[in-house]
């Protein structure tokens, strides 16, 4: 008997949404079926069984529904087949079974899909069918998987996401991950490495399009899957600590600085030269900084200094050319950015700052670090000498030039008057 | 009109004219390459920066021009030494109370209060003002320039704050100097009357009567600078040249030190963190 035809012709799926099928019911159904059809694949068994024991399933399901209260999967009365595609119910009937694996060469690939997790996923909620991505499979037995390891299996879906996510896909083509991949590094992240398609929940607000707070908190963990060393450094930084310990969403996550999808090479000169403006995006924003009592003048004071002037000009005119002048990260750290007031590492302490200076100025001695005005505007309290020099010129320049201009004007006046009178100028 | 074209009076010998050219070129270069560093975000600043090949090139040109000006200054000191110790010229550039009086009288005359314009000697109060302003400027710019050029050496003896203070003073003084030249020098020797003496070296009697009547009177009276006789001159030279040589060596050493005291910064910085990029998390088997 051809079950598929039968299912199609009935236009009726007796299988309730898998999210609501209790595990117990599933177990009973499967074990029963297995005893009847010891050679058949459990999925087909289930379907066959369901046809016969529909009423039982209905009963079990309706009992289980309130207790499970899965928010996820929308109830549907769709048939097991929509056109040529099997419905998700159809697939999950088998794939929700725990511990099922396929063998690829020497590796085994778990093919269990947790119905609850999948039900919470954005793909499930948007009604994406398994078969939309798993295009080669329309019934059982499935065609043989040709790849020989799990990584290649993932990579065999490389272009799948493009069908719906072309923007993101295109951006990724311009990313450091894609470049590494093109250079032969198969470990370089592809879509599914960051976004497990079976469990990926919605990351952005449906109307706002902005990253949701919870998504933001999860980002470093996602990157940590491959960049654990950097994550460990970030975790203890002033930013990472606030994010991981206090769920603070004001602080930058990985993508705040590195971008998402079209992630650029952070060791590139262009990236380095633009660092001050990257940091300034938040650090000149008083709506964020005022909460923490942090100055928003940090970019201005940096650019006003010799180092910052140079970097700004490089960034504007020659973004691809290296400069030996420091950017924010050279003094404050990269992933391990610490509070400046920290007595052990904080660069508000002259001794700590001096070690930063000495990276580029090996001969620098104790007084040298005070040549940097620590982002302060010169004032009688901070850098008074600079303040008074500026004050002096503020009066000295107009006084001298004003005197000169005054004399020149009187001289011009005298010449005009004398010429009118016909007097020769002495 | 008594425009005499027959009587020319030497005003600036060749050496002085060369000094002027050196200072003219180095000053202009310093101003053109310095102000864009003070105002890098202005459109003119950015324009100059670009046509001169960027900030680092600009700094190199600026410092080269500074070295030229240092040589110009050293040369001027030697020439002055020769003038004072060998020729025993009158030190006519030294400022005096009379200059202040002349300045006030000129101003009052212009305003219609005083009856006559002051009569002045070899250097008018306007010229002395400009000269000493230049001396002041060169001293400030040289000192503050040294601090910025050699901050590591400087902070071995001075508080660190002197470096940004030097930068502030250097910038303020630069604005003052450039604008003073534009206002005072442009008006005094280009607009009021196009004074070519610094190029031709001489002035006519007519010009002398109007601008330096007291000097002309001294010349006519025979009490202006007179060339010493050959024997005296030789004796003084014998005395001056060795001293000048030592001073020259000292100044050259000073300029060399100015340029080479320290290698302020490394030209390439080592990357901040040699982080292992790919460190995957390993699930428990």
**Residues A188 and A180: beta-carbon distance below 8 Å:** yes
Q: Is residue B66 part of a domain?
A: yes
**Residues A378 and A388: beta-carbon distance below 8 Å:** no
Q: Please tell me if residue B40 touches chain A, with a CB cutoff of 8 Å.
A: yes
Chain B segment 111-150 residues within 8 A of A by beta carbon are 111-112, 116-117, 133, 148
Give the pLDDT of chain A (426 residues) as one tens digit per residue: 444 444 443 333 334 344 344 454 445 445 444 444 444 455 555 554 445 555 544 444 444 444 444 444 444 444 566 667 788 888 888 899 999 999 888 888 999 999 999 999 999 999 898 989 998 887 888 888 888 899 999 999 988 999 999 999 999 999 999 999 999 999 899 999 999 999 999 999 888 888 899 999 999 999 999 999 999 999 999 999 999 999 999 999 999 999 999 999 998 999 999 999 999 999 999 999 999 999 999 999 999 999 999 998 888 888 888 888 999 999 999 998 988 988 888 888 888 999 999 999 999 999 999 999 999 999 999 999 999 999 999 999 999 999 999 999 999 999 999 888 877 554
The CA distance from B72 to the nearest CA of chain A, in Å, is 25
At A149 the three-state DSSP class reads coil
Which of B113, B118, B133, B165 would best serve as a mutation to test chain A binding (most A beta carbons within 10 A)? B165
pLDDT for residue A123:
93
Burial of A167 (0-12, 13-18, 19+ CB in 10 A): exposed
Q: Is residue B56 part of a domain?
A: yes
Q: With a cut of 80, say whether residue B19 has pLDDT above it.
A: yes
What is the spatial distance between Cα B39 and Cα B47, in angstroms, rounded to a whole number?
Answer: 11
**Residues B123 and B195: beta-carbon distance below 8 Å:** no
* Neighbouring-strand partners of residue A107: A104
Q: What are the b/e assignments for A34-48, b being 16+ CB within 10 Å? A: eeeeeebebbbbbbb
Q: Which chain A residue lies closest to B192 (C-alpha atoms)?
A: A412
The CA distance from B244 to the nearest CA of chain A, in Å, is 35
What is the spatial distance between Cα A311 and Cα A305, in angstroms, rounded to a whole number?
Answer: 10
More reliable by pLDDT, B150 or A45: B150
pLDDT for residue A409:
95
B-chain CB neighbours of A380 within 8 Å are none
The CA distance from A324 to the nearest CA of chain B, in Å, is 5
pLDDT for residue A33:
43
pLDDT digits (tens, 9 = 90+) for B101-133: 999 999 999 999 998 999 998 999 999 999 999
Burial of A212 (0-12, 13-18, 19+ CB in 10 A): middle
Tokens (6 digits) for B176: 């003052």
Chain B segment 199-228 residues within 8 A of A by beta carbon are 210
pLDDT for residue A55:
52
How many Cβ pairs closer than 8 A exist between chain A and B?
A: 180
pLDDT for residue A85:
79
The CA distance from A89 to the nearest CA of chain B, in Å, is 30
The CA distance from A405 to the nearest CA of chain B, in Å, is 7
Q: How many Cα atoms sit within 13 Å of B120 on the Cβ side?
A: 27
CA B53 to chain centre: 26
What is the spatial distance between Cα B35 and Cα A392, in angstroms, rounded to a whole number?
Answer: 19
ipTM reported for the complex, 2 dp = 0.90
Q: Where on the phi/psi map is residue B106: left (φ > 0), alpha (ψ -120 to 50), or beta?
A: alpha
Q: Which chain B residue lies closest to A393 (C-alpha atoms)?
A: B172
C-alpha angle B263-B264-B268 in degrees, rounded to nearest 5: 85
Q: Please tell me if residue B270 touches chain A, with a CB cutoff of 8 Å.
A: yes
Q: Please tell me if residue A31 touches chain B, with a CB cutoff of 8 Å.
A: no
Stated length of chain B = 285
What is the spatial distance between Cα B201 and Cα B203, in angstroms, rounded to a whole number?
Answer: 7
C-alpha angle B240-B245-B251 in degrees, rounded to nearest 5: 120
Tokens (6 digits) for A237: 């930084």
From the list B161, B172, B265, the residue facing A393 with the nearest CB is B172
Q: Please tell me if residue A391 touches chain B, with a CB cutoff of 8 Å.
A: no
Q: With a cut of 50, say whether residue B208 has pLDDT above it.
A: yes
C-alpha angle A284-A288-A291 in degrees, rounded to nearest 5: 120
Which of A222, A224, A357, A426 would best serve as a mutation to test chain B binding (most B beta carbons within 10 A)? A426
Angle between helices B55-81 and B14-38 (to 10 degrees): 150
Q: Which chain B residue lies closest to A232 (C-alpha atoms)?
A: B279
Q: Is residue B49 part of a domain?
A: yes
Total of domains in chain B = 1
| Strands of A224-346, DSSP E | none
Q: How many Cα atoms sit within 13 Å of A66 on the Cβ side?
A: 2
Q: With a cut of 50, say whether residue B87 has pLDDT above it.
A: yes
- Tracing tokens 């000006």 back to the chain, one arrives at B69
Burial of B172 (0-12, 13-18, 19+ CB in 10 A): buried
pLDDT digits (tens, 9 = 90+) for B53-82: 888 899 999 999 999 999 999 999 999 999
Of A331, A326, A334, A332, which Cα lies nearest the Cα of A229? A334
pLDDT for residue A52:
54
pLDDT for residue B89:
86
From the list A305, A368, A410, the residue facing B155 with the nearest CB is A368
From the list B160, B266, B277, the residue facing A370 with the nearest CB is B160
From the list A318, A367, A410, the residue facing B107 with the nearest CB is A410
**Residues A226 and B278: beta-carbon distance below 8 Å:** yes
Of A273-287, B170-184, B235-249, B254-268, minimum mean pLDDT range: B254-268
Q: Please tell me if residue A268 touches chain B, with a CB cutoff of 8 Å.
A: no
Contact between chains at B160 and A322 (C-beta distance less than 8 A): no
At B150 the three-state DSSP class reads coil
From the list B164, B172, B187, the residue facing A383 with the nearest CB is B164
Q: How many Cα atoms sit within 13 Å of B9 on the Cβ side?
A: 21
Q: Is residue B18 part of a domain?
A: yes
A-chain CB neighbours of B270 within 8 Å are 359
| Strands of chain B, DSSP E | 8-10, 202-204
pLDDT for residue A316:
86
Which of B155, B180, B276 would best serve as a mutation to test chain A binding (most A beta carbons within 10 A)? B155
Which of B34, B128, B151, B160 would best serve as a mutation to test chain A binding (most A beta carbons within 10 A)? B160
More reliable by pLDDT, B83 or B226: B83
Q: Is residue B202 part of a domain?
A: no
Structural domain boundaries, residue B14: 10-89
List CB contacts of A98: < 8 A, sequence separation 6 or more: A112
**CA gyration radius for chain B?**
26
What is the spatial distance between Cα B160 and Cα B167, in angstroms, rounded to a whole number?
Answer: 12
From the list B111, B266, B281, the residue facing A362 with the nearest CB is B266
Domain ranges (residues) in chain A:
1-153, 269-371, 386-426
Chain A segment 273-332 residues within 8 A of B by beta carbon are 303, 305-306, 309-310, 312-314, 316-318, 321-324, 326, 329-330
């Amino acid at each position: 008997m051809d079950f598929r035809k039968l299912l199609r012709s009935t236009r009726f799926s007796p299988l309730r949404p898998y999210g609501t099928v209790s595990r117990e019911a599933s177990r009973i159904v499967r074990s029963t079926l297995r005893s009847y059809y010891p050679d058949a694949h459990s999925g087909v068994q289930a379907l066959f069984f369901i046809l016969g024991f529909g009423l039982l399933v209905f009963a079990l399901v309706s009992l289980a529904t309130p207790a499970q209260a899965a928010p996820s999967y929308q109830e549907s009365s769709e048939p097991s087949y929509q056109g040529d595609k099997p419905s998700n119910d159809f697939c999950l009937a088998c794939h929700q079974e725990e511990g099922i694996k396929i063998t690829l060469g020497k590796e085994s690939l778990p093919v269990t899909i947790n119905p609850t997790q999948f039900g919470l996923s954005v793909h499930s909620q948007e009604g994406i069918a398994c078969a939309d991505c798993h295009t080669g499979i329309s019934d059982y037995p499935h065609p043989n998987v040709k790849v020989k390891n799990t990584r290649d299996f993932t990579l065999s879906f490389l272009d799948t996401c493009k069908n719906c996510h072309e923007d993101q896909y295109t951006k990724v083509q311009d990313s450091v991950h894609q470049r590494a991949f093109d250079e032969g590094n198969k470990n370089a992240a592809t879509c599914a490495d960051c976004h497990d398609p079976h469990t990926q929940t919605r990351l952005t607000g449906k109307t706002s399009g902005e990253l949701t707070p919870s998504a933001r908190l999860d980002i470093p963990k996602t990157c940590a899957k491959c960049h654990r060393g950097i994550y460990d450094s970030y975790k203890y930084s002033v930013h990472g600590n606030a994010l991981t310990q206090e769920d603070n969403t004001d602080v930058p996550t990985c993508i705040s600085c590195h971008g998402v999808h079209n992630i650029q090479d952070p060791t590139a000169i262009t990236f380095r030269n633009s660092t001050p403006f990257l940091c300034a995006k938040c650090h000149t924003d008083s709506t964020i900084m005022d909460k923490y009592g942090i100055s928003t003048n940090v970019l201005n004071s940096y650019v006003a200094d010799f180092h910052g002037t140079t970097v700004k000009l490089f960034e504007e005119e020659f973004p691809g050319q290296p400069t030996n002048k420091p950017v924010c990260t050279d003094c404050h750290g990269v992933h391990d950015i610490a509070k400046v007031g920290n007595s052990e590492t904080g660069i508000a302490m002259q001794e700590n700052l001096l070690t930063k200076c000495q990276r580029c100025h090996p001969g620098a001695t104790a007084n040298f670090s005070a040549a940097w005005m620590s982002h302060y505007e010169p004032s009688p309290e901070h850098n008074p000498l600079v303040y008074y020099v500026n004050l002096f010129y503020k009066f000295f320049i107009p006084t001298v030039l004003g005197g000169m201009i005054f004399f020149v004007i009187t001289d011009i006046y005298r010449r005009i008057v004398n010429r009118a009178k016909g007097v020769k100028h002495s | 009109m008594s425009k005499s074209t027959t009587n020319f009076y030497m005003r600036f010998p060749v050496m002085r004219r060369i000094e002027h050219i050196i200072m003219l070129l180095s000053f202009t270069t310093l101003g053109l390459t310095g102000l864009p560093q003070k105002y890098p975000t202005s459109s003119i600043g950015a324009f100059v920066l670009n046509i001169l090949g960027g900030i680092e090139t600009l700094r190199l040109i600026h410092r080269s021009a500074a070295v030229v000006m240092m040589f110009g200054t050293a040369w001027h000191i030697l020439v002055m030494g020769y003038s004072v110790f060998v020729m025993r010229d009158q030190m006519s550039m030294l400022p005096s109370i009379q200059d202040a009086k002349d300045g006030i009288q000129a101003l009052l005359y212009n305003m219609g209060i005083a009856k006559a314009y002051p009569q002045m000697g070899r250097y008018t109060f306007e010229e002395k003002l400009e000269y000493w302003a230049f001396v002041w400027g060169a001293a400030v710019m040289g000192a503050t320039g040294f601090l910025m050029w050699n901050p590591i050496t400087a902070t071995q003896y001075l508080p660190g704050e002197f470096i940004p203070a030097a930068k502030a003073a250097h910038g303020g003084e630069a604005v003052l100097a450039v604008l003073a030249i534009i206002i005072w020098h442009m008006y005094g020797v280009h607009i009021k009357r196009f004074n070519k003496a610094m190029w031709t070296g001489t002035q006519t009697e007519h010009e002398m009567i109007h601008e330096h009547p007291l000097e002309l009177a001294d010349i006519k009276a025979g009490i202006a600078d007179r060339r010493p006789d050959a024997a005296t001159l030789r004796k003084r030279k014998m005395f001056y040249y060795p001293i000048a040589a030592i001073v020259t060596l000292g100044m050259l050493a000073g300029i060399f030190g100015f340029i080479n005291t320290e290698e302020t910064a490394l030209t390439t910085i080592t990357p901040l963190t040699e982080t292992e990029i790919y460190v995957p998390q390993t699930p428990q088997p």
